[in-house]
Amino acid sequence: MLTVLVVDDSALMRRALRDALEAESDIRVEIARDGQDALEQVARVRPDVMTLDIHMPVMDGLTCLSHLMVDSPCPVIMVSSLTEKGALATFEAMELGAFDYVAKPGGTVSTDLDGIRRDLVAKIRAATGTPAMSTRQHPPRRGPPPAAPAASAASAGHDRLLMIGVSTGGPRTLEQILPLLPTGAGWPVLVIQHMPASFTSVFARRLDGLCQLPVREVDRPTRLEDDVIHLARGDADITLSRRAAGLSLVPTPLDDQHLWHPSVSRFLQSAQGLLAPGNLIGALLTGMGDDGARDLADWHHKGARTIAEAEETATVFGMPQELINHQGATDILPSHQIGDRLVAWTRTGESA
């Protein structure tokens, strides 16, 4: 039985979170009304996970988190409002040690949790290493893996792309990898991070202050530019299109065929015929689910160079594991080695 301490100053939100979580037969919920109350209850409750609101009286969520990480560390999932202020506070919480976050669908107080219930439960399980009650594991394909494509297998044509797909645990991992990408390599970079739009705009500005390359949120049709990190806008998918000015990234309304958004799979499907496989470098990093795994494996089998983040550093070994299961990874690397490998692959004439 998992014990979750729900910390929120709103009685409506506490009740909604309790009902959502206790619908799971193996989750028990305890309640705290603010950060101070939470710190006082931790020793008694000994929670496996805490969900923590940010804006509360008496003691706010960030102050509570800073004390908790020093005195009684446990996995914490922030419950954040869909505002720029909420996004800024959420990234600060991640720096302090929060495991991840979920965004309230209707603002500061909302009892409509249907849209985030699955995400919240999955992140609670991920934080404790507890599998979903009804999850089916897909076994790896049998037989020898295909030969790894040569790093110099770039096909004719100038169009090329470095694409990174990532979900749960992504912000910290991206902040470790992207600042290593140098100017002058001549590759456009696309980052597809599962995240709401109010968060991707803040995250783009945050990354822009950390990286050597400029970081721009793609919130309108945008031509792919060399030596620029393009961050797909949340609450939409992103596709590749050839326009008069060249290859362009196009924010696209969500569809019902893809579970995760922005969708890595949908982007890779849209890029077929527009990029030669040898001109694509792709990486799947930490994240729940399998978004992009089968499609990136198909690109790999045709000549693309690909990286799956190793289990030892992945916050959630879902997306990269699925890429490995489909025999789609040229390399399997811990996060602290991925940046250097990407730099080597994007340098002209340098092998993997």
Choice among 149-153, 214-218, 301-305, 317-321 with the minimum mean pLDDT: 149-153
For residues 7 and 118, state if they share a domain. Answer: yes
**What is the C-alpha to C-alpha distance for residues 337 and 310, in angstroms, rounded to an integer?**
10
**pTM for the model:** 0.87
| pLDDT at residue 144 is higher than 60 | no
- The backbone torsions φ and ψ at residue 341, rounded to the nearest 5 degrees and listed phi first, read -65, -40
| pLDDT at residue 218 is higher than 60 | yes
Q: Which CATH number characterizes residue 26's domain?
A: 3.40.50.2300
Q: Which CATH number characterizes residue 235's domain?
A: 3.40.50.180
Residue with tokens 């490995």: 324
114: region left, alpha or beta (phi > 0 left; psi from -120 to 50 alpha): alpha
Q: What is the pLDDT of residue 104?
A: 83
Task: Give the other-Cβ count within 10 Å of 169's Cβ.
Answer: 24
Is residue 283 domain-resident?
Answer: yes
Domain C-terminal end among 128, 145, 175: 128
Q: What is the pLDDT of residue 100?
A: 93
Between strands 246-252 and 222-223, the pairing is antiparallel
Paired with 226 in beta bridges are none
For residues 181 and 329, state if they share a domain. Answer: yes
Q: What is the pLDDT of residue 81?
A: 86
Calculate mean pLDDT across residues 279-288.
Answer: 96
Tens of pLDDT, residue by residue over 123-134, are 999 898 876 543
Tally DSSP H helices, then E strands, for the chain.
Answer: 11, 15
Is residue 133 domain-resident?
Answer: no
For residues 298 and 181, state if they share a domain. Answer: yes
For residues 221 and 269, state if they share a domain. Answer: yes
Is residue 139 domain-resident?
Answer: no
Query: Residue 82: which pLDDT band, with cuts at 50, 70 and 90?
Result: confident
Calculate mean pLDDT across residues 282-306.
Answer: 97
Catalytic residues: 167, 194, 291
- Counting the structural domains of the chain, the total is 2
Distances (CA, A) of 241 to 93, 293, 301: 37, 22, 23
Calculate mean pLDDT across residues 9-13.
Answer: 92
For residues 195 and 322, state if they share a domain. Answer: yes
Q: In terms of residue numbers, what domain contains 45?
A: 2-128
For residues 308 and 181, state if they share a domain. Answer: yes
Is residue 143 domain-resident?
Answer: no
Which of 104, 29, 31, 42 lies closest to 69 in space, CA to CA? 42
For residues 324 and 188, state if they share a domain. Answer: yes
For residues 106 and 172, state if they share a domain. Answer: no
Residue 243, classed as helix, strand or coil, is strand
Is residue 142 domain-resident?
Answer: no
Is residue 43 domain-resident?
Answer: yes
Is residue 134 domain-resident?
Answer: no
Residue 173 tokens read as 């991992």
For residues 317 and 186, state if they share a domain. Answer: yes
For residues 204 and 304, state if they share a domain. Answer: yes
Domain C-terminal end among 77, 103, 128: 128
Task: Give the other-Cβ count within 10 Å of 71's Cβ.
Answer: 10
For residues 91 and 167, state if they share a domain. Answer: no
User: Which residues have a Cβ under 8 Å from the Cβ of 346 and sit 6 or more positions away?
Assistant: 162, 181, 185, 186, 187, 281
Burial track 343-352 (b if 16+ CB lie within 10 A, e otherwise) = eebbeeeeee
Is residue 155 domain-resident?
Answer: no
